[in-house]
Structure 1
Amino acid sequence: MRINLKIESIGSYSRLQKFLFPLIVLVFGAVSFWPDVAFDLPYGQHQWRQCDAYSMALNYFQEDAGFFEPSMHFQHGSGKGSGRSVGEFTGTYWLNAQVWKFSGLKPYTMRWTHMSLWLLGALSLFAMGRNWFGALKSAFVTAFVSASPLIAFYAGSYLVNPAALGLVFLSWWLAWQLMAFDRSKSKGRWSMEVLLFLCLSFSVLLRPTMALGWIPIAIWALRRGNLVLWFPRFALPLAIAVGWVFWSKSVNDANGSIYFCTTIRPLWDSQNPAIIWRAFCENLLPEWYHEYVRYVFGFCALMLAVFRVFLASVRVQDEREKKLELQLPLLIGLMVLGLAIYFLLWFENLDAHDYYLIEFQLLLPLLLWRCIQVLEYIRNSNLRWYRGIWTLLIIALSFQLLEAHLRTRMKHTSPTGWWSDVILTHRDREVWSWFHGDQERRFADLEQVKSAMRAHGIQRDERIISVPDPSSNITLSLLDQKGFTDLYDENFVGDERIELYVQKGASYLVCNSRTWYEERIKSPWLQRPIIDFGGMIVFDLSNSESPLSSDAGQR
């Protein structure tokens, strides 16, 4: 009877393994608020950058532009401006534009594209860990990496950063498989080589700093004595990525665009490093992992490091580790060094750009795998500590999943409920409640205004001034209208600023704030409203009462 029970137990565990990753996907879908946002336009955290991506995809689609003709709705640039500007690789934007030619405009496919690439990376992470440590432990690692609020929010957004990370994890799995294959016996080797080339290339095209994720592959190849053979696999994707960066800079220089960051912004150039550091600690780190989770994980890692030093059975376990050849301590050290350099080189962007911390997720699976290794070392010698540390880690993961869900939901809808009141800070809840209220007041009628503008004969290529809007493309892309916003040209204010943009071809002004309008109600530029719908007013600038000065835009 015992034997039968044992066999049944093993069979049940085997069946459970098959459903672990689908279960992770379901949990991640709930954590990321996916059922509620899967079909949405850009919204929430860094709507600014999400709308940049959407703007480029929309222009590819509407203008039937070639791949090397990216442009934004925002028309700032030399002369009268052209919108020609580029930063990150536009491959997924162009691809979605081609899909829309058959399906019609479906903006949300950008969310699905980026989510799919992230999930492929998560599956690769799970597959690697399952072969090394078992399915349950690998599920823990995959879930922990996915439980970051950064991943929960951005994986299914219009930004490409988690997609690039997913491609790095897929590259790890492909590289490990290739290293394990016998050349003479491998039938699918060349297809895997092509896939690896594509993953390595697209990961650094989408996000050049994801080259940090190549460190594990390089070390694994070095330990097997074939790093020289792997050099061409790294060199060509890196050359393509560098070529894209130089091409982007040439496009931006030719068109006078200063918008995209295609260079470093190091610590030593910072005017206020203390302010940036404070913003990083107070605003960005909580978006990576909750403070409590970081403390618990740090405590567990410290305890495991102490155990690793003093365990009597280290030699036996070292032999097992040597056979696997993961080289995790070395990888962790090199990755920490690489991320420290990354932190210093892009320090000035760490005041508000939380998605820059997605690179930190390259380190996390290495740390978690190492923790699992050390836990296996102490399992036989100290079962109590083994169970205690695992209990702490599982509690931390459970809490982090809940916190990531609440934080992600907060960015899409006003935070309510007891759990939000307890776990989320009052400051965060107030900020996001204000954000959603502001969006509702200003943009609730945006689609109707867009339709009314088309009904008035206003074409998408006719330039507008959209105010107030400190971003480049939020209102412009959502209205699908070329033009200007409050971004840049700070030396021009009031009517002088409107005149500047009229000189550059603006024919209409779209105001999304009654307060802004009431403060300037006597302006001669604002005497001919042609659309007044809810919170938005459209003014005809071509037939306004304001004369143009001859020196507009010359100062």
Structure 2
Amino acid sequence: MPDQKATSTRFKLIGTVIFIFTLFIIAWYFNYPEILLKKPQSIHFPRQADCASLALNYYQSDMDFFHPEIHNLTSDDGTSGKCAPSELPFLYYLVAILYKMFGYHDFIYRIINTLIFFLGLFYFFRLLYVLLNDIFWSVSLPLILLSSPVIAYYANNYLTNTSALAFVIMAWFYFINYYIHGQHKNLYLSALFFFLAGAFKITGLFSLLSLAIIFTLEGLNIIRCHQDGRRIFGNGLKRIIPYIPGVIIIFLWIVYAHRYNQIHDCYYFSTRSFPIWDMNTEATRNVIKAVVKIWFTQYFSIWIYFFLIILFIYMLVNRLSAHPLLFYTIMFLIPIVLLYVLMQFFMLKDHDYYTINIYILPIFIIISSFSLMKQKHYRLFKSLILKSLFFCFVIYHLWYAKSKLDERYNNKENIYYMLHDYYEITPFLEQNGILLKDTVISISGETQLPLYLMNRKGWIEHIETQFGEGEKILYNRDSTGIQHSIDKGAKYMIVRDLEELIVKPYLQSYATNLVGRFNKIHIFDLVNKNPNFTIPERKILQSILCDAEQVTNDSKDYLSFSDSLLFEFGITQSDETSWSGKYSAKLNPSHPFGMTITLPQVKTGESFAIEVKYSGVPEKGLIIASALTSDVFYYNENTIIPDTVPGWYNISAEFFVPGEMDGKEMKIYLWYTGNDSAYFDDFKITRYSSYSFVNKVTEGHRDK
């Protein structure tokens, strides 16, 4: 017997070494060492910046756990960044403590998150070894989780979701050990890790809720989860007491966070759900379309779905022999997960990380199915052929995850390439007297990422919708918004590039005193308005007007007003109504596109100002500019305002030609996305040559 125990210990140690070594190899293969050095970027960079900002503000403030802040000053009528997330800020606070010890470095944050998740994978390995007593399956099966592109991406990122999932796995390791051995310390450790899971993300409590259902049904003598017929919680309520304080603390924090945000008039973080029953049919269809086209193969590869379905069917067919605790946990997890999906349905359109704690369901399917296979089909379980095939299966899917990971970081749409200068600007700000305490207006989009990268508090171009429950508040979207930020204390306006000043003319009266220039970024003093900077007029290359009055003889194309350029879809000409003249373009679901012109060989730096008169449902009519293939270039950002003619609107768009379009053809067209009919008239396109700015920088400041 001692020899058996020694052999078992030796094999367990060998498995542990193999698994840890495997994790190191995969981390190297996934390029984690390089990724660790990256600041927030790529998919869902706004949420990454939010998490990183919470940690940095703890570090730079008085470390008050109950008063979290961010860089974006939208709270307290635009005077503070006081804002509480729905999760307990344990991770942010821990990172801030480490910043205090070792200095502020983003890689510390990523390392902590990565270590927590890898520890969760290690516990997955340990749990499987307890149940299967097989090194191969215990090492290889957890890698299925890591082969998910979503998991691989967020495992060493800034969000708390993967850490919450890791704590769930740890909790189940100790609970199953309690189930097997009955030691109370395992029960307490399980309760501790379930608390941490729920504290990091409330969705980490999914499987604890499943366990609560099992406890209730056992108490009612409806089910038994011990194979010998005993109850898991032998003494009833006494065994669930360790779980109660953690659940209470989590829900008290949610109540506190909601109240904290109310007190500070903060709507930045959501503490509510976005259920499917609050959505119309079109919105629901759009979510489904996004999940199928964008996210479905990011959650797992199609072959993993087949693999999980086969395992689930195998478990159902042999349910009488399945491990009762694992089986019932899965059966109760399914409706819990489905309810969560329905309650957060709207968020699934753009947020892949909302699914991370759903992964506990496939984890349990894997554990239960292979535990069943060991018991019922041992020869198959031990088959070298099956293990060889599965080894190849795992290797392929690790490659699959790596390729998707590379796409996320190396894609041209990665925000890093658009905001590259912000990632390096902080020393320049300090050298030019723009201090940590100085507040700024960031003209670089609707994210606080630039504020975080610059490590300066301030205001962004933001539309506060108050989750649709109040009036919209425009931050820095017009001259009134800019002045509001100045009145609240903004000292500098930091503009991503000078193109912003062209497409947003309301900025120009504030861009008079240039403090400094860092590559494309321009910094303007909002206090000292002594002018040293001017914007020259752009030179018009081409002015085109399609007034819908003339079409070719075959009605295939419209003719422009003066120089007979061709616009496609002349068939949409209608005399039912018009803004001017007799005709307009009538678009509907049968003919959704109209007035399309193709311009040959546009050049980088050229700009376009486009407008059209529109009669129809607001925001259903769009001006689109695109390359011949939309993956190269696609622009659909429009402004729509009521026209002086009743029932008509003015839609406008303005943009600069990006580098990838240099020398290529560009299509500019109208698109109606509604279900009825709408009318477009007087489609005007103004094309400007590449511009150059002439200005002097105040003495004592420098360019880069």
TM tier, smaller: 0.7 to 0.9
Q: Does residue 512 of structure 1 match 2:489? A: no
Worse-matched range after superposition: 150-159 or 327-336: 327-336
1:165–1:359 contact (8 Å) kept in structure 2:
yes
Residue 494 of structure 1 corresponds to 478
Instruction: Give the aligned residue type for 1:363.
Output: L
Secondary structure, in 3 states, of the residue corresponding to 1:506? coil
| Aligned counterpart in structure 2 of residue 293 of structure 1, from 304, 311, 325 | 304
Residue 42 of structure 2 corresponds to 44
Q: What is the CA–CA distance in structure 2 between the aligned matches of 1:29 and 1:274, rounded to whole Å?
A: 38
Q: Does residue 481 of structure 1 match 2:456? A: yes
Q: Does residue 439 of structure 1 match 2:420? A: no
Residue 442 of structure 2 corresponds to 466
Q: Does residue 125 of structure 1 match 2:124? A: yes
Q: What is the CA–CA distance in structure 2 between the aligned matches of 1:465 and 1:278, rounded to whole Å?
A: 36
Secondary structure, in 3 states, of the residue corresponding to 1:60? helix
Deviations 1:428-480 (A, max 9, x none): xxxx2232xx6335323642x32232223222232111112211x20111111
2:373–2:381 contact (8 Å) kept in structure 1:
no
Secondary structure, in 3 states, of the residue corresponding to 1:158? coil
1:466–1:509 contact (8 Å) kept in structure 2:
yes
Instruction: Give the aligned residue type for 1:355.
Output: Y
Q: Does residue 230 of structure 1 match 2:239? A: yes
What displacement does 1:388 show?
A: 7.4
2:12–2:135 contact (8 Å) kept in structure 1:
no
Deviations 1:225-280 (A, max 9, x none): 22523321222111110000000001100111111111111111124111111112
1:495–1:523 contact (8 Å) kept in structure 2:
no
Secondary structure, in 3 states, of the residue corresponding to 2:65? coil
How is 1:12-411 mapped onto 2 (pairs within 5 angstroms)?
16-87=14-85, 88-133=87-132, 134-181=134-181, 190=185, 192=186, 195-215=189-209, 217-218=211-212, 222=218, 223=225, 224-225=230-231, 226=233, 227-271=236-280, 272-299=283-310, 301-302=312-313, 304=314, 308=318, 318=321, 325-376=323-374, 379=377, 393-411=390-408
What displacement does 1:31 show?
A: 4.9
Instruction: Give the aligned residue type for 1:274.
Output: R
What displacement does 1:13 show?
A: 6.8
Unaligned runs of 5+ in 1: 1-8, 184-188, 415-431, 547-555
Instruction: Give the aligned residue type for 1:463.
Output: T
Instruction: Give the aligned residue type for 1:110.
Output: Y
1:307–1:378 contact (8 Å) kept in structure 2:
no
The structure in which a higher percent of residues are strand is 2
Deviations 1:10-33 (A, max 9, x none): 999777524332133124313542
2:197–2:204 contact (8 Å) kept in structure 1:
yes
What displacement does 1:327 show?
A: 2.8
Q: What is the CA–CA distance in structure 2 between the aligned matches of 1:10 and 1:251, rounded to whole Å?
A: 53
Q: What is the CA–CA distance in structure 1 between the aligned matches of 2:490 and 2:42, rounded to whole Å?
A: 29
1:59–1:72 contact (8 Å) kept in structure 2:
yes
Q: What is the CA–CA distance in structure 1 between the aligned matches of 2:173 and 2:18, rounded to whole Å?
A: 18
Secondary structure, in 3 states, of the residue corresponding to 2:515? strand
Residue 527 of structure 2 corresponds to 542
The verdict on how the C-alpha distance between 1:366 and 1:67 changes in structure 2, with shifts beyond 3 A counting, is: same
Greater relative contact order (CA < 8 Å, ≥ 6 in sequence)? 1
| Aligned counterpart in structure 2 of residue 457 of structure 1, from 433, 436, 458 | 433
Worse-matched range after superposition: 216-225 or 492-501: 216-225
Secondary structure, in 3 states, of the residue corresponding to 1:537? strand
**TM-score, normalized by length of structure 2?**
0.65
Q: What is the CA–CA distance in structure 1 between the aligned matches of 2:110 and 2:178, rounded to whole Å?
A: 31
What displacement does 1:518 show?
A: 3.4
Q: What is the CA–CA distance in structure 1 between the aligned matches of 2:171 and 2:179, rounded to whole Å?
A: 12
Worse-matched range after superposition: 160-169 or 138-147: 138-147
1:442–1:535 contact (8 Å) kept in structure 2:
no
Q: What is the CA–CA distance in structure 1 between the aligned matches of 2:9 and 2:435, rounded to whole Å?
A: 64
What displacement does 1:305 show?
A: 5.4
Secondary structure, in 3 states, of the residue corresponding to 1:57? helix
2:374–2:381 contact (8 Å) kept in structure 1:
no
The verdict on how the C-alpha distance between 1:145 and 1:442 changes in structure 2, with shifts beyond 3 A counting, is: closer
1:150–1:287 contact (8 Å) kept in structure 2:
yes
Max Rg structure: 2
Secondary structure, in 3 states, of the residue corresponding to 2:522? strand
Instruction: Give the aligned residue type for 1:343.
Output: V
Secondary structure, in 3 states, of the residue corresponding to 1:532? strand
Cα root mean square deviation, aligned: 2.9
The structure in which a higher percent of residues are helix is 1
The verdict on how the C-alpha distance between 1:41 and 1:82 changes in structure 2, with shifts beyond 3 A counting, is: same
2:91–2:200 contact (8 Å) kept in structure 1:
no
Worse-matched range after superposition: 120-129 or 28-37: 28-37
Deviations 1:496-525 (A, max 9, x none): 321121122211111113321333468110
Secondary structure, in 3 states, of the residue corresponding to 1:363? helix
Q: What is the CA–CA distance in structure 1 between the aligned matches of 2:13 and 2:67, rounded to whole Å?
A: 50
Q: What is the CA–CA distance in structure 2 between the aligned matches of 1:250 and 1:351, rounded to whole Å?
A: 28
1:265–1:346 contact (8 Å) kept in structure 2:
yes
1:161–1:355 contact (8 Å) kept in structure 2:
yes
Residue 425 of structure 1 corresponds to none
Q: What is the CA–CA distance in structure 2 between the aligned matches of 1:197 and 1:374, rounded to whole Å?
A: 27
1:441–1:535 contact (8 Å) kept in structure 2:
no
Q: What is the CA–CA distance in structure 2 between the aligned matches of 1:328 and 1:197, rounded to whole Å?
A: 18
Q: What is the CA–CA distance in structure 2 between the aligned matches of 1:206 and 1:18, rounded to whole Å?
A: 27
1:445–1:534 contact (8 Å) kept in structure 2:
no
Deviations 1:78-134 (A, max 9, x none): 323310001122111111212222211122111111112112211111111111112
Q: What is the CA–CA distance in structure 1 between the aligned matches of 2:95 and 2:316, rounded to whole Å?
A: 51
Unaligned runs of 5+ in 2: 1-6, 219-224, 464-472, 532-704
Q: What is the CA–CA distance in structure 2 between the aligned matches of 1:544 and 1:196, rounded to whole Å?
A: 62
The verdict on how the C-alpha distance between 1:34 and 1:228 changes in structure 2, with shifts beyond 3 A counting, is: same
Secondary structure, in 3 states, of the residue corresponding to 1:45? coil
1:32–1:153 contact (8 Å) kept in structure 2:
no
Deviations 1:270-323 (A, max 9, x none): 241111111122222222101233234434644x358648xxxx8xxx3xx5xx
1:296–1:396 contact (8 Å) kept in structure 2:
no
